[in-house]
Amino acid sequence: MFGFLIKKAFFDTWDNFIPAILVNLGFIAVLAIPMLLPQALAGVSPIFGVIAFALGVLALFIYAGGAMGVAKTIVNYQAPEWQTFTGALVAYLPVTITLGVLVALHAALLLVAVPVYSAMDNVAGLVAIAVLFWLSVIWWLSIQYVIPVRTRLADQIVPVFKKAFILSLDNTVFTAALAAGALVITGISFFTAFLIPGITGLAVWYQAALKLRIYKYDYLEENPGASRKRVPWDALLYEERDRVGKRTLRGMIFPWKE
């Protein structure tokens, strides 16, 4: 299943290369806010720099909501439009803003707690740091699902976060692999100045992952006695494999020669 996820995410992004580039260009523009504006305003007042950075980071989460809406359309084999982006950006605002605020609070907690516990220099401090570390790992792995879950499984903030944590804890190996794939995509994007695959490629990765994972839960719901460890992925993903089709590198670059 994971191998097909890689293939689907790659070709879904490739087949929508121009829309992906356009969304990524917008993200690069928004990324400039927390990267450049705080330094410019810090000369006026340090507090202005902090506020500009916080608002810039929040803008990135809001923009990610629009990108996720485009990714959902792409993963569903539909052509994205401008309204796809703007509609998703507005519709997902409560969740994206909440996520951005919680991420900021978590980062602030780590900045305060880690030095304090480290300075304790005893067993209690080490235990506290270990607990904080593993809770942070669970947090970061789980929030991968938050915006995708908002697009497919829930509308309200609390159910969205609840389902995101359930998915993470119920699919631990898959979730860890998903995070590793996201790191690879981010690394590749870094060398292309986030032009490709960029935020769109990352959003497609998560959208495709959730869409394919939902097939598992649909199957288990229809077959209550089925084993959770023996999901017939070949049968469940038959239509998806057929839609993606057989692809080659030659056909990807020179489709008219296929």
Q: If you average pLDDT over every residue of the chain, what do you get?
A: 91
Domain assignment of residue 257, yes or no: no
The per-residue pLDDT for range 22-51, each reduced to its tens digit, is 999 999 999 998 888 888 777 777 788 888
Backbone angles phi, psi at 197, to 5 degrees: -70, -25
- The answer as to whether 133 is a domain residue is yes
What is the reported pLDDT for 246?
81
- In angstroms, the CA 242 to CA 258 distance is 17
Q: Within 13 Å of residue 196, how many CA atoms lie on the same side as its CB?
A: 13
Residue 44 lies in a domain: yes
Tokens representing 15 are 């087949």
153 SS3 class: coil
Query: What is the b/e burial string over 71-87, where b = at least 16 CB atoms within 10 angstroms of the residue's CB?
Result: bbbbbeeeebeeebbee
pLDDT at 249 > cutoff 70: no
Q: In this structure, is residue 28 part of a structural domain?
A: yes
- 229 pLDDT above the threshold of 90: no
Q: How far apart are CA 130 and CA 117, in angstroms?
A: 10
Q: Is 164 in contact with 155 (CB distance < 8 Å)?
A: no
Write down the pLDDT at residue 47.
83
Note the pLDDT of residue 121.
81
In degrees and rounded to multiples of 5, residue 80 shows phi and psi of -70, 145
Kindly report, residue by residue over 70-113, the tens digit of the pLDDT.
999 999 999 999 999 999 999 999 999 999 999 999 998 998 99
Classify residue 216: in a domain, yes or no. yes
Parent domain of 217: 2-252
Asked whether the beta carbons of 92 and 98 are under 8 A apart, the reply is no
Predicted local distance difference test score (pLDDT) of residue 248:
66
The model's confidence at residue 250, banded by pLDDT at 50, 70 and 90, is low
Q: According to the model, what pLDDT value does residue 228 have? A: 85
9 domain-assigned: yes
What number is the average pLDDT over the span 112-117? 90
Q: How many CA atoms lie within 13 A of 111 on its CB side?
A: 6
Query: Does residue 258 sit within a domain?
Result: no
Higher pLDDT, residue 121 or 186: 186
92's CB contacts (< 8 A; 6+ apart) are: 65, 66, 68, 69, 147, 150, 151
For residues 127-145, average pLDDT: 95
User: For residue 258, what pLDDT is reported?
Assistant: 55
B/e letters for 212-232, b = 16+ CB within 10 Å, e = fewer, are: bbebbeebeeeeeeeeeeebe
The proportion of the chain whose per-residue pLDDT surpasses 90, expressed as a percent, equals 75
38 lies in some domain = yes
pLDDT value for 257: 55
Rg for the chain (alpha carbons), in Å?
Answer: 20
Cis status, amide bond into 148, omega within 30 of 0: no
pLDDT tier, 256 (very low <50, low <70, confident <90, very high otherwise): low
Average pLDDT of the segment spanning 204-214: 97
Tell me, what's the pLDDT at 37?
Answer: 82
Convert the pLDDT of each residue in 148-198 to its tens digit: 999 999 999 999 999 999 999 999 999 999 999 999 999 999 999 999 999
> Per-residue pLDDT for 254 more than 70?
no
Domains in the chain: how many in total?
1
